[in-house]
Amino acid sequence: MNNSNTAKTITNISAPFDVERFRKDFPILNEQVHGKPLVYLDNAATSQKPKQVIESLDAYYRETNSNIHRGVHTLSEQATAIYEKARGKVKEFINSDSIKEIVFVRGATEGINLVAQSFGRNMLKPGDEIIITELEHHSNIVPWQILSEQTGATLNYIPINDAGELILEEYEKLLSDKTCIVAVGHISNALGTINPIKTIIDKAHAVGAKVIVDGAQAVPHTRVDVRELDCDFYVFSGHKLFGPTGIGVLYGKEAILESMPPYQGGGDMIQTVSMEKSTYNALPYKFEAGTPHIAGVIGLGAAIDYVDQLGLEAAAQYEIELLDYADEQASQVPGLNFVGTAKNKTSILSFTLDGIHPHDIGTILDGEGVAIRAGHHCAMPVMERFNIPATARASFAFYNTRQEVDALIQAIDKCQKVFN
């Protein structure tokens, strides 16, 4: 499986990345907004879906819809089979050891909360320490704040420099034998910074801490290998990976997941239930209480197939070139300030314009058909660090083009005309 992936990738890299071919897979890219062609640059919020994913959902509901793991009838067996096959695809996709390590959750947010409550709450005592970073999305901040209130553990933040990069010397100062959990984003959704997570993980392990990586922004842009990273947990959301909303993945090392109590109780997660006591199902089902988002899992499987045939490495290379082009164009716009200039970054152009509030930028760009995000991007500590209320953020996917970057720049020009 791995070998065939590598082979595919190599052919893809040698041929130029055929963006027009892949764009045809995304029906929504033909939409018009305010009479202008849609230029979708809000991929960090959620990505668009290729027809292969849309059709997988349709086919499931038309042909196979049934509950899983509990029927002896044909449809239920078929539904169970495609559901579990998708789990296998996720396992391959992140190179995990075993399907027991792949837990389906609603999204990155639920994955982090599961780890905080099931793993953290049982382990932490007053005086223990959790380390997160100033770059995190609120979903990788608030669960740890809640946990620290529940357990009396202290929450510390790795600060960032003016470029939006983590200051690793400060991280080293925070680490000690009191550190139990390090939670860090792989790629920042607000600034696009790619964090040196391998280094962060190794240093945490050296003091005996466990590491959870929030990969929500990483999986669409980079190949993730959880074994090579040696992270203890890794979470991501399907909807940012060209799959459906409402489905995500928690990867956890088997031995750790094994040691954790269930997060929620219900059907599917038990072996036996008597009125006195229940015994729990094996991994990963212990963490999948209730009827799961079956269609979502199937759609996620289709999204992973899609990304595999696309060649994530080739797409990533294309995205880097596109971002370079966007940076170059944006740097020529008078009054435009970049927010987040990390050396190692991807797919995100966060900016402000002198004298124009990001929300006004967002509205005016929308009038030109250009969809971006304006706001704090669920990363208020980042905004505080740069002393701004908000930024305008264009975030790219492999289906975006240079012409779309040009449309963005023209729309920014229009903003300046409206206000000057």
Partner 1 sequence: MSKGIQLMFDIKDLYQEVIVDHNRSPRNFGRLENADTTLEGFNPLCGDKLTLYLKTNSGKINEIAFDGSGCAISVASASLMTDAMKGKSLDEAEILFNQFHNLVTTDDDYDAESLGKLVALAGVKDYPARVKCASLCWHTLHSALQGDNAPVKTE
**SS3 call for 193:** strand
Q: Smallest gap, in angstroms, from Cβ of residue 108 to ligand PLP?
A: 4
359 near partner 1 (CB under 8 A): yes
Nearer residue to ligand PLP within complex by CB, 99 or 142: 142
| Chosen from ligand PLP, partner 1, none, partner binding at 137 (C-beta under 5 to 8 Å by type) | ligand PLP
Q: Smallest gap, in angstroms, from Cβ of residue 214 to partner 1?
A: 22
Does residue 355 come out as left (phi exceeding 0), alpha (psi in the -120 to 50 range) or beta?
left
| Chosen from ligand PLP, partner 1, none, partner binding at 109 (C-beta under 5 to 8 Å by type) | ligand PLP
196 burial class (0-12, 13-18, 19+ CB within 10 angstroms)?
middle
DSSP H helices, 119-262, are 121-123, 142-151, 168-174, 197-206, 226-229, 254-259
Q: Which stretch binds ligand PLP (CB under 6 A): 28-36, 213-221, 324-332, 391-399?
A: 213-221
Q: Which stretch binds ligand PLP (CB under 6 A): 105-113, 307-315, 365-373, 401-409?
A: 105-113
| Chosen from ligand PLP, partner 1, none, partner binding at 33 (C-beta under 5 to 8 Å by type) | partner 1
- Residues between 363 and 382 that touch partner 1 (CB under 8 A): 363-364, 367, 375-376, 380
Strand partners for 156: 131
* Cβ atoms within 10 Å, residue 305: 17
| Chosen from ligand PLP, partner 1, none, partner binding at 383 (C-beta under 5 to 8 Å by type) | partner 1
Is 180 among the catalytic positions?
no
User: Is residue 213 within 8 Å of 184, Cβ to Cβ?
Assistant: yes
**Which residue, 344, 341, 340, 343, is CA-closest to 391?**
340
Among 17, 82, 107, 292, binds ligand PLP (CB under 6 A): 107
Among 48, 80, 179, 189, binds ligand PLP (CB under 6 A): 189
Report how far residue 121's alpha carbon sits from residue 153's, in angstroms, rounded to the nearest whole number.
10
Binders of partner 1: how many residues, by CB under 8 A? 23
| Chosen from ligand PLP, partner 1, none, partner binding at 359 (C-beta under 5 to 8 Å by type) | partner 1
242 burial class (0-12, 13-18, 19+ CB within 10 angstroms)?
buried
Q: Smallest gap, in angstroms, from Cβ of residue 299 to ligand PLP?
A: 14
| Chosen from ligand PLP, partner 1, none, partner binding at 360 (C-beta under 5 to 8 Å by type) | partner 1
Q: Smallest gap, in angstroms, from Cβ of residue 118 to ligand PLP?
A: 17
- CA dihedral (200, 90, 101, 172) in degrees, to 10, reads 0
Among 200, 390, 408, 409, binds partner 1 (CB under 8 A): 390
195 near ligand PLP (CB under 6 A): no
| Chosen from partner 1, ligand PLP, none, partner binding at 108 (C-beta under 5 to 8 Å by type) | ligand PLP
84 near partner 1 (CB under 8 A): no
**Reduced to 3 DSSP states, what percent helix, strand and coil does the chain have, rounded to the nearest 5?**
45, 20, 35
356 near partner 1 (CB under 8 A): yes
**SS3 call for 173:** helix
Interaction pattern, residues 232-271, with ligand PLP; x per rule: CB under 6 A? -----x----------------------------------
- Which segments of 215-329 are extended strands (E)? 233-237, 248-252, 270-273, 278-280
Q: What is the Rg, in whole angstroms, of the alpha carbon atoms belonging to the chain?
A: 22
* Alpha-carbon separation of residue 382 from 127, 240, 311, 331, 341 (angstroms): 27, 21, 32, 22, 13
User: Is residue 327 within 8 Å of 340, Cβ to Cβ?
Assistant: no
Annotated catalytic sites, by residue? 378
List residues near partner 1 by CB under 8 A: 31-35, 355-360, 363-364, 367, 375-376, 380, 383, 389-390, 414, 418-419
